[in-house]
Structure 1
Amino acid sequence: MSRRRVLDPVEAGALLLMAAFLLLCLRVSPGRAAPAGAEVTEFPGFHGVLPSKHYAGYITVGHEQQNRHLYYYLATSERNPTLDPVVIWINGGPACSGFSAFHHSIGPFKIEYSQVHVKDDPRATKNPYSWTKMASLLLVDSPAGVGYSYAENDDDYITNDTSRVADLYDFLSKWFAEYTEFMSNPFYVAGCSYSGVIVPVLAQEILKRNEEPYRMKINFKGYSLCNPAVDVDIENNAHVPYAFRVGLISEELFQSLVTTCTGRYWNNSNPSCQENMEQFYMQIKGINMEHILCPPCRYKMGITKEFMEYDYGQMFKRISKSSSHGLECHDQEQALEKLFDTNLGRAKLHAKEPEVSGRWKRCPKHIQYTRDILTLTEYHLNVTSKGYRVFLYSGDHSLLVPFSATMEWLKKLNYKETEKWHPWFVENQIAGYSIRYGSNILFATIKGAGHVPSDYLPFEAFVAYQRWIDGAASL
């Protein structure tokens, strides 16, 4: 009869360490801890194998009497999802679906534009400049009512910046509880345009909650913003000097504006200033605010206000294959609805049926959104003073939020310039200019790009972002 061998303490310890290591590997293996049924195996309009593991579903925020169900979509990194950062994209609008960015700039798919104006359903193809080449990308439809997200009470479709940030933090804390394998990954918050109002406030909320005892700690490392809303006065006052710098108004009118408005071009009650501002608006009438060189084609945003300080309507376009400089305009709203507002599309993406979540709209009209955070300086200072990484970048052809406005605002933070204004390069060509400030702040322009730089120059925007998030010494 064989006798059972008794392990000595060294062997037993080694086996315990091996078992612990295997459990750790299982824990950090992408997707192993994802909720049952969350994996996405097909994407609307795309034919082929997904480039990485994708997941989708809902996270409920609020409380029992006021439940709001926020839809999310996670595309894991194609490089190393175990170690690569997780980036949550906060869409602008201020109330537009995260699939806007997913399909037009940073996500793993892009629409084949030749399909937009034909009877066939639109098709999607792989995006060679997807952020999933360097990070896991998390999109969330926020606030409730946007995209596939929905609320159980109509009162929840009346919202503001403060409520939205509270919901987003609630979303993140519950999302990480379901996707624990990503808790140790570096975590970044990103957005463009109006999300400049949301991102730094959410960053501050994460840091504040991380300090609370018995609270789950989010491994926050920093945030990024492009052409961001940061201060109502600075952005609106920047339109006149920027328009003169790029040759949109005459020198005579500019000098008259300088004299009569005394530096305040927006919301100035001086009659002479107002008269000159009327001339200013006449001279820029028809200019595309999002890219001053592109045709003024916009598509229906569903904005609920008569006047918006920031998003006057997105313009999606492409670089023509026949010319490296030709730009074409396309109305994308119909294509997006064909992809996402169908029973088949909903089934593939684990979205609720229209009877529950409503019809899919990128920027639905029924949301009543109020901006209640007008300046973001204190939030940026609260985060950057602790040394967290920040990347601000601007398409230098945007009149909507000019790069010069962001630079003027940066000066108000009173951080020392550690690297002066200098060009940065992609494939031996100048791709823009950058400045580095103390407290880990990097600012860069993307030469020739508009309001959302990755829409216009996706390769250059991709290179800049990858260099920053990977911690390159400079762009």
Structure 2
Amino acid sequence: MCPDRAGAGVVAVGAAVATLWLCAAAVSAAPPGAEVTEFPGFDGDLPSRQYAGYITVGHEQQKRHLYYYFAASERNPNTDPVIIWINGGPACSGFSALLHSIGPFKIDGSMMLHAGDEPTTKLNPYSWTKMASLLLVDSPAGVGFSYAENEDDYVTNDTSRVLDLYDFLSEWFAEYPEFLPNPFYIAGCSYSGVIVPVLAQEILQKNEDGERAKINFKGYSLCNPAVDVEIENNAYVPYAFRMGLISDELFQSLVSTCNGKYWNNKAPSCLANLDQFHKQISGINMEHILCPPCRYRMGITAEASEEYDFGQMFELMSESSEYGLECNHQELVLEKLFDTKSSREKLHARPAEISSKKWKRCPSYIRYTRDIPTLTEYHLNVTSKGYRVFLYSGDHALLVPFSATLEWLKTLKYKEIEKWHPWFVQKQIAGYSVRYENNLLFATIKGAGHVPSDYLPFEVFVAYQRWIDGSDSL
């Protein structure tokens, strides 16, 4: 990935509060043997108390065992929020947080390894555990360390995944009840934009039903989120034009022949211009248009792109590139780090013989269908009740560009409380933001790509901390 621009002086962010967890009591009700004392590839004391294990969902004939990793806040776990990270993909391990620079650890050094090298990890100075407790989950069953007892459960969709995630949360809080009073937030990026608002609505509905313990839900955040198939796929052409990737002449021809509809348009003249469009952006890195055209798999594998159906335009642009979907071995590094007997023991993951699966971040054997094409209804249901929502986008991502999110926000018809304006980190413009009524905030991360914390983890850390702590300086 492209290097971030944060200076050396920012590595001390959160240092003043990093040791406060020592003053807090240990998690008192955790399942026996759940505490993690060693992390794979890491030599030293863990920065906070951490726990791992399984929560079983489903029923007797269809048991699905979802793996979780929980890192308590380094600041004040007694009162700090609990954030669950829902990964995109749509079927990728929650340990993707190691790549996205939000978890307590990060890969030490280059992702390129020689055959004999062993991956190592180090503390992440921008870990969200400096402001909150972080719950990572391998969802759906089959990704990472999660597994199902029935092979049929590896065929799934958005609706089934949301139901499993709610059951997971309900059971997890039953095992860690001391965190039930803490403010609870959901976070994710990319395809998790399809899951997060639906899960939020499910939590609110179940809270009203009163059949299970009430989760202290406060809001959710999403970066470069999938929100509406049609808006997302129609955004590629105008974004490519405004970023100087296609010519004025081609853009005007596309506008006149496609009439603003660049997805599923069958008009011959439009298709001819779209063919030229794909040729002009061939080789562009969709996740960051300024970076070399390499990217790791995001669940949309060469074998299963049709199943994941992230959009016709995405598939066409991927096919037009001469570069493979993976050319920097990040997947292999994570597999080498986690898929060993020693790592499984340290992380309380069950042996591969039990799960019958090797550790894969985004396994291709999961057959996933997107059955919720647009999320507008769910966002409106949650935001109309005043729950807090933070949407942020790397402004150099062609994949789910920020302009698509802005276009979709218009459909909500919410009043702008603060119009487009810059926000700052260390007196430098870090992006631009718009604040809407009903506690809805949108911001760009200037210079970042898809999953902005991959590229500018410091700026994302600052933005997120300001939001979750209730600051208006964004």
Kept after mapping to 1: 8 A contact 2:341/2:351 = yes
Which of residues 111, 118, 123 is equivalent to 1:121? 118
The reply to whether residue 92 of structure 1 matches residue 71 of structure 2 is: no
Post-superposition Cα deviations, 1:9-58, rounded to whole Å, max 9, x if no partner, equal xxxxxxxxxxxxxxxxxxx9441111110000000001100000000000
Residue in 2 that maps onto 1:454: 453
Residue in 2 that maps onto 1:157: 154
Is the partner of 1:282 in helix, strand or coil?
Answer: helix
Residue in 2 that maps onto 1:398: 397
CA shift, 1:338, in A, is 1.1
Which of residues 349, 353, 356 is equivalent to 2:354? 356
Residues 214 and 232 (structure 1), Cα distance of their counterparts in 2 relative to 1, 3 Å cut? closer
Query: Which residue identity does 1:345 align to in structure 2?
Result: S
Distance 1:257 1:43 in 2: 52
Residue in 1 that maps onto 2:234: 237
CA shift, 1:116, in A, is 3.4
Residue in 1 that maps onto 2:138: 141
Kept after mapping to 1: 8 A contact 2:111/2:328 = no
Kept after mapping to 1: 8 A contact 2:338/2:344 = yes
Which of residues 103, 108, 116 is equivalent to 2:104? 108
Kept after mapping to 2: 8 A contact 1:200/1:379 = yes
Residue in 2 that maps onto 1:8: none
CA shift, 1:415, in A, is 0.5
Distance 2:295 2:436 in 1: 36
Post-superposition Cα deviations, 1:232-276, rounded to whole Å, max 9, x if no partner, equal 000110000000000000000000000001110111011111110
Residues 263 and 301 (structure 1), Cα distance of their counterparts in 2 relative to 1, 3 Å cut? closer
Residue in 1 that maps onto 2:189: 192
Which of residues 53, 77, 100 is equivalent to 1:81? 77
Residue in 1 that maps onto 2:435: 436
Higher mean C-alpha deviation, range 379-388 or range 356-365: 356-365
Q: For 1:171-190, what aligned pairs fall within 5 Å after superposition?
A: 171-190=168-187
Distance 1:104 1:409 in 2: 25
Is the partner of 2:67 in helix, strand or coil?
Answer: strand
Is the partner of 2:385 in helix, strand or coil?
Answer: coil
The reply to whether residue 226 of structure 1 matches residue 223 of structure 2 is: yes
Distance 2:278 2:284 in 1: 10
Distance 1:165 1:206 in 2: 10
The reply to whether residue 337 of structure 1 matches residue 335 of structure 2 is: yes
Residues 59 and 361 (structure 1), Cα distance of their counterparts in 2 relative to 1, 3 Å cut? same
Q: Percent identity?
A: 76
Kept after mapping to 2: 8 A contact 1:29/1:181 = no
Post-superposition Cα deviations, 1:407-433, rounded to whole Å, max 9, x if no partner, equal 010010010000010000000000000
Query: Which residue identity does 1:56 align to in structure 2?
Result: A
- TM-score, structure 2 as length reference: 0.89
Distance 2:212 2:105 in 1: 36
The reply to whether residue 37 of structure 1 matches residue 37 of structure 2 is: no
Distance 2:99 2:410 in 1: 34
Is the partner of 2:272 in helix, strand or coil?
Answer: helix
CA shift, 1:334, in A, is 1.3
Query: Which residue identity does 2:291 align to in structure 1?
Result: C
Kept after mapping to 2: 8 A contact 1:147/1:360 = yes
Residue in 2 that maps onto 1:253: 250
CA shift, 1:362, in A, is 0.5
Post-superposition Cα deviations, 1:441-464, rounded to whole Å, max 9, x if no partner, equal 000000000000000000001000
Residue in 1 that maps onto 2:310: 309
Distance 2:458 2:331 in 1: 24
Distance 2:405 2:203 in 1: 24
Structure 1: stretches of 5+ with no match in the other structure = 1-27, 313-328
Residue in 1 that maps onto 2:289: 292
Is the partner of 1:258 in helix, strand or coil?
Answer: helix
Residue in 2 that maps onto 1:5: none
Residue in 2 that maps onto 1:63: 59
Kept after mapping to 1: 8 A contact 2:141/2:154 = yes
Kept after mapping to 2: 8 A contact 1:30/1:82 = no
Distance 2:152 2:256 in 1: 48
Residue in 1 that maps onto 2:345: 347
CA shift, 1:300, in A, is 4.5
Distance 1:290 1:242 in 2: 13
Moved runs in structure 1, 4+ residues, more than 6 A? none
Post-superposition Cα deviations, 1:120-171, rounded to whole Å, max 9, x if no partner, equal 2011011000000000000000000000000000000000000000000000
Is the partner of 2:377 in helix, strand or coil?
Answer: helix
Calculate the aligned-residue CA RMSD, in Å.
1.3
CA shift, 1:298, in A, is 2.4
Residue in 1 that maps onto 2:18: none
Query: Which residue identity does 1:448 align to in structure 2?
Result: G
Distance 1:300 1:139 in 2: 19
Query: Which residue identity does 2:435 align to in structure 1?
Result: R
CA shift, 1:115, in A, is 6.6
Kept after mapping to 1: 8 A contact 2:98/2:107 = no
Distance 2:139 2:218 in 1: 22
Query: Which residue identity does 1:70 align to in structure 2?
Result: L
Which structure has the larger Rg? 1
CA shift, 1:474, in A, is 2.6
Structure 2: stretches of 5+ with no match in the other structure = 1-23, 316-326
Is the partner of 2:209 in helix, strand or coil?
Answer: coil
Kept after mapping to 1: 8 A contact 2:106/2:122 = yes
Residues 52 and 415 (structure 1), Cα distance of their counterparts in 2 relative to 1, 3 Å cut? same
Kept after mapping to 1: 8 A contact 2:188/2:222 = yes
Residue in 2 that maps onto 1:473: 472
Residue in 2 that maps onto 1:9: none
Query: Which residue identity does 1:253 align to in structure 2?
Result: L
Query: Which residue identity does 1:149 align to in structure 2?
Result: S
Post-superposition Cα deviations, 1:197-228, rounded to whole Å, max 9, x if no partner, equal 00000000000000013421000000000000
Distance 1:53 1:288 in 2: 38
Distance 1:356 1:418 in 2: 54
Residue in 1 that maps onto 2:385: 386
CA shift, 1:103, in A, is 4.0
Kept after mapping to 1: 8 A contact 2:421/2:432 = yes
Distance 1:411 1:235 in 2: 14
Query: Which residue identity does 2:166 align to in structure 1?
Result: Y
> In the comparison of the two structures, how many residue pairs are matched?
432
Residues 133 and 448 (structure 1), Cα distance of their counterparts in 2 relative to 1, 3 Å cut? same
Kept after mapping to 1: 8 A contact 2:170/2:212 = no
Kept after mapping to 1: 8 A contact 2:74/2:130 = yes
CA shift, 1:333, in A, is 1.1
